[in-house]
Amino acid sequence: MTETIVGIDLGTTNSEVAIYRDGRSEILADETGERIIPSVVGLSVDGALLVGTPARNQARLFPDRTIRSIKRVMGSDRAVTLGEQVYQPPEISAMILRRLKAIAEARLGAPISKAVITVPAYFSDVQREATRQAGEIAGLDVVRMINEPTAAALVYEAGQNEGKSILVYDLGGGTFDVSVVRIADGVVEVIASHGNNHLGGDDFDAKIIEHIVAHGRERFGIDLSDNLQAMARLGRAAEDAKKHLSDHPFALIEEEHLIGSDGAPFNLSLELARDDYETMIAPFVEETLESIHTALKSANLTVAHIEEVVLVGGTTKTPMIRRRLTEIFGRAPRGEVDPDLCVALGASLQAAAIGGENVSAVLVDITPYTFGTSVLGELDGALYPYRYAPVIAKNTPIPVRRSEVFYTTHANQSAVDVRVFQGEHDDALQNIQIGEFVIDGLSEAPAGNPVLFEMALDRDGILHVSAQEKVSGLKRSVTITQALPRYDAEQLTAAKARVDSLFGTGDPEAPTAEGSTAVAALLDKARARLDTVETEDRDELIDLIEEVEDARRQDDTGALDSACQRLTDLLYFLES
């Protein structure tokens, strides 16, 4: 006899709820199909409670009515204000847990009263107790709290009895810990941990925000830091840029209708290169690497004793982190299970075991090969024209899209011969060439003219490759239909089950009441401004109101979110 117990990852930036059923673990999606719920709580203008995406969206207009990253102060006596009320951190976390509980109940069609909740391995007893209290406030019996690295290790190693030492590198939105984990006879045990409960992706975002603010001061004489709403919008823009830089060498940061300290309108357009971003965050990354050595020393182990490195947390998608870990351990870290989701999946495995299920490993479809191109570079101490430059690494989950920037090697170079390879050897010619094309007619430019190279691999194993001169936009592309071997019917069924076990299924339902309330409040606010603005602004306001209403009638969540954000930005501009 089994009972339903959900697994919950209560994260700093995002949270998820998962269930193990029918032999697989899956993240439960909300009524709009979203599996990752922002850990944000807010109050709408009419006093309605907003949790998740609606709260995150309204933060651009009402940052003073929105609370995020509450996990950073769990276990402290730091109270927070929401509207006219003051709350303790466990209460805010309980609101997020209630939202996750409601999602699970809607998806499963039954009441949920028990949960396994994960916490950072470096969380103190006080912080753990605060998390348990949050569960109780939310109406959940927290049957167990497990460390996040333990949960991740369960996902990767469930069903294996072979003894193994692994290192779990867990860098989320607001906390970091590194744990040495021993797996033997089906038991996963954290034997040493080190970290920082106040280091994470939020700090990476802050560096980008500092860069934007400095740009405004130095280039335009505008101090954006004096405006609370402008800073809230920059926070969202910085987070988006950080995510984009995980897969691309450049990110364009654009925000219209910002207001500086002098009240003048300011339209931001700033390109950020990954190289510059990595320089900003280098001290944070180095701190995490120092923690690795501390944890290893505590475990009486060396780097050589670690057989695998596992990545946990969305911030580990940062290429610099993966690169530095590969340099230290001599092997690429494992990240084929989405670092944003693996903790919740592991919590669901533990919950299933407590509930009486016989659990097994959780798997995903991955690319078994590395894909890349050839460049002029150093190989064996000498300059070599066919140095392999990987773009999509082996064991990357698919579908995936990655891009890198390369540079011409001599002045006035008119063409680039782009070769596409599959393999692992540093010498591209030792790998398998699977495609080739030429981008010609390049601009007359000095050596170092940037060319963007992009690869996209879909679930069917079709590889789309393109190269584009950054200055002129000149582009060439090729589609390679046999990048991955084709599955027979049985293999395809098994692969689909593995993917479904991670991503779940189900048809979207009607928008949430809290989401509808937020949209209605935004429309009311916009209509109230129609008679107080100039004709040109009024026309734009009417157009956006109609766009929001059309998207809501058509139940197009993507278009609705986009229209609401643009309407929010315009209202912010008009009221500043």
Instruction: Give pLDDT, residue 273.
Output: 95
Q: What does the alpha-carbon distance between residue 351 and residue 416 come to, in Å, rounded to a whole number? A: 54
The model's pTM is: 0.68
**Mean per-residue pLDDT for 472-482?**
72
Q: What does the alpha-carbon distance between residue 306 and residue 225 come to, in Å, rounded to a whole number? A: 45
Q: pLDDT averaged over the chain?
A: 81
**Mean per-residue pLDDT for 185-202?**
81
The first and second tokens of residue 51, run together, are 């949790």
Beta-sheet pairing, 164-171 with 141-147: unpaired
Q: What dotted CATH number matches 371-486? A: 2.60.34.10
Dihedral pair phi/psi, residue 80, rounded to 5°: -125, 150
Q: Containing H/E element for 575?
A: helix 557-575
Q: What does the alpha-carbon distance between residue 6 and residue 20 come to, in Å, rounded to a whole number? A: 8
The first and second tokens of residue 504, run together, are 């779940």
Q: Which residues are within 8 A (CB) of 279 and not within 5 positions of it... i.e. 6 or more apart? A: none
Reply yes or no on whether the pLDDT at 424 is more than 50.
yes
What is the third-level CATH fold of 6-158+340-355? Nucleotidyltransferase; domain 5 (3.30.420)
CB atoms within 10 A of CB 394: 16
Instruction: Give pLDDT, residue 575.
Output: 61
Indicate if 371-486 has the same CATH topology as 6-158+340-355: no
Instruction: Give pLDDT, residue 395.
Output: 63
Instruction: Give pLDDT, residue 461.
Output: 58
| Domains in the chain: boundaries | 6-158+340-355, 371-486, 513-575
CB atoms within 10 A of CB 135: 24
Q: What angle do CA 85, 230, 251 make, to 5 degrees?
A: 125
Q: What does the alpha-carbon distance between residue 92 and residue 136 come to, in Å, rounded to a whole number? A: 12
The tens digit of pLDDT for each residue in 72-123 reads 888 888 888 887 777 888 888 888 998 999 899 999 999 999 999 998 877 7
Q: What does the alpha-carbon distance between residue 443 and residue 495 come to, in Å, rounded to a whole number? A: 45
**Mean per-residue pLDDT for 527-546?**
79
Reply yes or no on whether the pLDDT at 497 is more than 50.
no
pLDDT above 90 covers a percentage of the chain that reads 28
**Mean per-residue pLDDT for 274-290?**
96
Reply yes or no on whether the pLDDT at 361 is more than 60.
no
pLDDT class of 54 with cuts at 50, 70, 90? confident
Instruction: Give pLDDT, residue 572.
Output: 62
**Mean per-residue pLDDT for 289-306?**
92
The tens digit of pLDDT for each residue in 161-190 reads 567 888 999 998 888 988 888 877 667 777
Reply yes or no on whether the pLDDT at 329 is more than 80.
yes
Reply yes or no on whether the pLDDT at 486 is more than 80.
no
pLDDT class of 203 with cuts at 50, 70, 90? very high
Say which range, 240-249, 388-397, 428-437, 517-526, has the weakest mean pLDDT. 517-526
Instruction: Give pLDDT, residue 494.
Output: 44
Instruction: Give pLDDT, residue 17.
Output: 97
